[in-house]
């Protein structure tokens, strides 16, 4: 039976996610949006690339949640994007209402789906989706760590002049200024980056990773990143749809792991057909524990602002 992916929000991130999912031949795709014509037009355009790219699954644009019924994976991208001068937190009041409505409809029509939340601020929005739907915690996941880690790996590869795929690096914590690019664990084909770069160089890369989204927003002026966020969400969806047990950094609900309970926070997880099948917990240094607490405090503040 063909797999089915619904992508809610046909803006830059959602349409790009549909593009990546189609190129990877992951299954039938429904691109859903409240604006009439936009998802239909983009889906039609994308479907016509099938003969060239070689994918053979159906791509459908819709304004009706009935068309999303029985999706295996739902990627929630709907919401306002950042613009220069805005923080992710500035989006919270607007996007919480959007995510609440979209998540409720998504789970109503696809009660067994894995729900991947991309809308910013991600840690608060995945918490919102979890609370309003009552969906199992392992089936509600936030996309952030895959994106942040990709940025971290890219900057390290550029600094070292090596292939990005040979850089292993992990970002934990909140998707925001208090994210934690893990210096201690980062390496190039097993060689620690601390043996290859100076502390000053590493500090600069860590800071650039933490502000990587803002750097793109400031360039674009009218929106935020979409190529890699779209791909990051699809990489997570692919792990679910293929049950490949990928280890990816995602915003998962913690119940004591890393000394944190009751919050969605970026941690390494095993992703498979059941969603988050395991959280890979490891011992943090005292300095890392302090940094993680800053993420917890920031997420707690966001959660309180949702009113849920």
Reading the chain (308 residues) residue by residue, the pLDDT tens digits are 899 999 999 999 999 999 999 999 999 999 999 999 999 999 999 999 999 999 999 999 999 999 999 999 999 999 877 677 766 667 788 899 999 999 999 999 999 999 999 999 999 999 999 999 999 999 999 998 999 999 999 999 999 999 999 999 999 999 988 999 999 999 999 999 999 999 999 999 999 999 999 999 999 998 899 999 999 999 999 999 999 999 999 999 999 999 999 999 999 999 999 999 999 999 999 999 999 999 999 999 988 888 87
Please give the structure tokens belonging to residue 228: 């890699």
Question: Residue 129: phi, psi to the nearest 5?
Answer: -60, -40
Q: In the annotation, is 175 catalytic?
A: yes
Phi, psi angles (nearest 5°) of residue 168: -105, 115
Residue 307, both tokens: 């009113």
| DSSP state, residue 90 | G
Catalytic residue chosen out of the listed positions 127, 175, 207, 219: 175
Neighbours of 250 (CB within 10 A): 29
Q: In terms of CATH, what superfamily is 4-144?
A: NAD(P)-binding Rossmann-like Domain (3.40.50.720)
Are the C-beta atoms of residues 12 and 223 closer than 8 Å to each other? yes
Retrieve residue 100's tokens.
């609440």
Rounded Cα gap, residues 221 and 82, in angstroms: 9
The first and second tokens of residue 157, run together, are 């590869």
Domain extents for the chain?
A: 4-144
CA distance from start to end of the chain: 38
DSSP percent split of the chain into helix, strand, coil, nearest 5? 50, 20, 30
């Amino acid at each position: 039976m063909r797999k089915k992916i619904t992508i809610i929000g046909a803006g830059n991130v959602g349409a790009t996610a549909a593009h990546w999912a189609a190129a990877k031949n992951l299954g039938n795709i429904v691109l859903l949006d409240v604006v009439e014509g936009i998802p239909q037009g983009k889906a039609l355009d994308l479907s016509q690339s099938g003969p060239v790219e070689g994918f053979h699954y159906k791509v459908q644009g819709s304004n009706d949640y009935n068309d999303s019924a029985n999706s295996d994976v739902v990627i929630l991208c709907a919401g306002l994007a950042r613009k220069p001068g805005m923080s992710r937190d500035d989006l919270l009041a607007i996007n919480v209402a959007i995510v609440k409505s979209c998540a409720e409809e998504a789970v109503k029509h696809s009660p067994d789906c894995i729900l991947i939340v991309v809308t910013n601020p991600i840690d608060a929005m995945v918490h919102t989706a979890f609370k309003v739907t009552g969906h199992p915690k392992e089936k509600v996941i936030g996309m952030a760590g895959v994106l942040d880690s990709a940025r971290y790996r890219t900057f390290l590869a550029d600094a070292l002049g090596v292939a990005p795929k040979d850089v292993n690096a992990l970002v934990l914590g909140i998707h925001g200024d208090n994210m934690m690019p893990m210096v201690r664990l980062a390496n190039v084909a097993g060689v620690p980056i601390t043996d290859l770069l100076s502390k000053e160089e590493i500090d600069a890369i860590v800071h650039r990773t933490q502000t990587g989204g803002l750097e793109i927003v400031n360039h674009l002026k009218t929106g935020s990143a979409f190529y890699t966020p779209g791909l990051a969400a699809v990489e997570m969806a692919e792990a679910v749809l293929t049950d490949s047990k990928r280890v990816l950094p995602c915003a998962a609900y913690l119940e004591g792991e890393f000394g944190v309970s009751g919050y969605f926070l970026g941690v390494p997880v095993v992703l498979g057909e059941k969603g988050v099948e395991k959280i890979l917990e490891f011992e943090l240094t005292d300095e890392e524990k302090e940094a993680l607490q800053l993420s917890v405090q920031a997420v707690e503040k966001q959660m309180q602002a949702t009113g849920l």
